[in-house]
Amino acid sequence: MTEHKSNPRHRRRKPGVPVMLTIVLLIIALLMGAMAGYVIARRTDTHVYALQAANDRITELENTLTLIGYPLDDEVDPQQWLYDNTVNDTALQDLTGAGWDDDVDELWSDESLLDATLPEDAEPVVVAEFEGGQLLSSEVIPEYNDQLTTQIFAGHDANEVAEETLNRVLEQLAGDKIIAARAKELGMTELSDADLAGIEQQAAASYEEQLSDYITFVGDGSQTREEAAQSLAEESGVTLESVTEALKQSYWTQKFYDHIVADVTVSDEEVQAHYDALLARQKQTFATYPEEFEYAHQSGELIVYRPEGYRAVRDILFAFEGEDARTAASLTEQLELGEADDAAREQLEALYAPLEAKAQEAQKKLADGAAFADLMDEYGCDAVLKAEPMRSEGYYVSDHSYVNSVEYVEGSMMLEQPGQVSAPLRSVFGVHLVEYIGDVAPGEVPLEDVADAVRAEALKAKQSEYYNQQRQALLEAAQVKYYPERLH
């Protein structure tokens, strides 16, 4: 499946999956989400981004679960999905109340997790040497432990993948040093005034993106931009200066890559072959996972096949803010699980009321002739819709769409003709006014309509393959000698 950074809109759920399959998938989602967070924490030393990474992974896997049908009908007791630490001694077991067999217990035991990792405080030794340089254990061990941890959390046995992981890390890091030495010989590691100007521009854009993501997904909604920037710096060490310095250290890598692949070209036959492969892949993927079509469009990926039944919409979002956002999410979850009492329902209604009043105000402006896009600027919209081309193209939704709330999708599909705007629609993020932009033409997108984009993708793929070949040739020429036994 495509990897994407999704807009965290409320997923729909459809009934009908066997209970035990649902249990397994829920457990996988929770375990993989939490463990992805642990890996991120090792790299960033910040609990905030670890939690966000865990939540992102849970959301992605939960989406897969909902596609095959999380049961929410009256015959299923929602309490069986709750963790309350009363059935068993561990959180993993208490998730379902079911027992775990010996293989599962062994997989998550301390011995399984730690047996093959290496101590990071050992005395440095040379673990690889090559013409013009060497590689120390102190450089290898942290990266090896990180990659091994990732492998374990993906379900692999540490002892089975340890040797392969270590060899891969040794070759990777030795190659990095050899490439750096070659780039230095070519004078690419020295930064010119033009390089520094480019770094400043890239750093500013990168920092603004990270700060925006922090404010949107991590911050409490009440912070000023300056306060959010301070929190980002304190919690993760990310500042404009740190981003700039990191780019200075790695800027030469892109220059070296561009130098190596400068003469690579693609023929018309290669462009056609790339298009044919992409078309076949998308037909299969979108048929199996319809939400991937929506995500691909949202992420700006090249699309050469469009399934039937989709329309384009965009919306004005009257969003919950600060503590209201967290409260609304909690109350919505209670409602879905059948736990919400009358007081909780009334509290949720009270949270929606001022947002729906704003939506009605916007409706009056639309009736008086205001442009929908202008009201998107005035009242707000999802971050994805703030920039082109998504601002004009909108989201793709259908009767079978499962990446938005039921109310959002049904309200969007009820609109009868382009230009119509829905009544206020609720989601876990607030209230939406949805505009029907137009239908999405189904079927294959002719190559001539996307020829430039396909050629660019084909060229990028060929350049990457060629670069890897040249990198491997440099390693072979350097006659690298590895000493993995010195790490044990």
- One domain, residues 244 and 319: no
Distance between the two ends of the chain, CA-based, in angstroms?
Answer: 37
- One domain, residues 254 and 314: no
- One domain, residues 244 and 318: no
Structure confidence at residue 221 (pLDDT): 60
Structure confidence at residue 25 (pLDDT): 40
- One domain, residues 331 and 431: yes
Strand 305-306 relative to strand 311-319, pairing: unpaired
What is the Cα Rg of the chain in Å? Answer: 26
- Cβ neighbors of 247 (< 8 A, separation 6 or more) are 199, 202, 203, 206
Alpha-carbon torsion angle 416, 421, 425, 431, nearest 10: 160
User: What tokens were used for 394?
Assistant: 């909108």
Residue 156 is assigned to a structural domain of this protein:
no
Structure confidence at residue 219 (pLDDT): 65
- One domain, residues 325 and 250: no
Question: The domain containing residue 244 runs over which residues?
Answer: 186-260
Residue 152 is assigned to a structural domain of this protein:
no
Q: What is the largest CA-CA distance in the chain?
A: 77
What are all long-range contacts of 292-295, with beta carbons under 8 Å and residues at least 24 apart?
292/1, 292/2, 293/396, 294/395, 294/396, 294/397, 294/401, 294/403, 295/2, 295/4, 295/6, 295/403
Q: For the whole model, what pTM was predicted?
A: 0.69
- Number of compact structural domains in the chain: 3
Residue 89 is assigned to a structural domain of this protein:
yes
Q: Which of 325, 318, 333 is nearest to 424 (CA)?
A: 318
Residue 283 is assigned to a structural domain of this protein:
no
- One domain, residues 376 and 319: yes
Residue 459 is assigned to a structural domain of this protein:
no
Residue 468: CA count within 13 A, CB half-sphere = 7
- One domain, residues 315 and 254: no
- One domain, residues 436 and 316: yes
- One domain, residues 320 and 435: yes
Residue 271 is assigned to a structural domain of this protein:
no
CA distances, 25 to each of 17, 29, 69, 208 (Å): 11, 6, 11, 36
Can you give the CATH number for the domain in which 425 is found? 3.10.50.40
Residue 161 is assigned to a structural domain of this protein:
no
Among candidate residues 403, 419, 441, the one where a domain is terminated: 441
- One domain, residues 200 and 321: no
Please state, in angstroms and rounded to a whole number, the distance separating the CA atoms of residues 403 and 133: 51
Structure confidence at residue 112 (pLDDT): 52
Among candidate residues 70, 100, 130, the one where a domain is terminated: 100
- One domain, residues 329 and 413: yes
Residue 134 is assigned to a structural domain of this protein:
no
Structure confidence at residue 466 (pLDDT): 97
| Preceding amide of 389 cis, omega within 30 | yes
Structure confidence at residue 103 (pLDDT): 45
Going residue by residue through the chain, which has 488 residues, state the pLDDT in tens, using 9 for 90 and above: 334 443 444 444 333 333 333 333 444 444 444 433 333 333 333 333 344 444 444 544 555 444 444 444 445 454 444 434 444 444 444 444 444 444 444 444 445 555 678 888 889 999 999 988 999 999 999 999 999 988 888 888 888 899 999 999 999 999 999 999 999 999 999 999 999 999 999 999 999 989 988 887 676 666 788 988 999 999 889 999 999 999 998 899 999 999 999 999 999 999 999 999 999 999 999 999 988 999 999 889 999 999 999 999 999 999 998 788 889 888 888 888 888 788 989 999 999 999 999 999 999 999 999 999 999 999 998 878 888 899 999 999 999 887 778 899 999 999 999 999 999 999 988 999 999 999 999 999 999 999 999 999 999 999 999 999 999 999 999 999 999 999 88
Are 344 and 335 in contact, with CB atoms under 8 Å apart?
Answer: yes
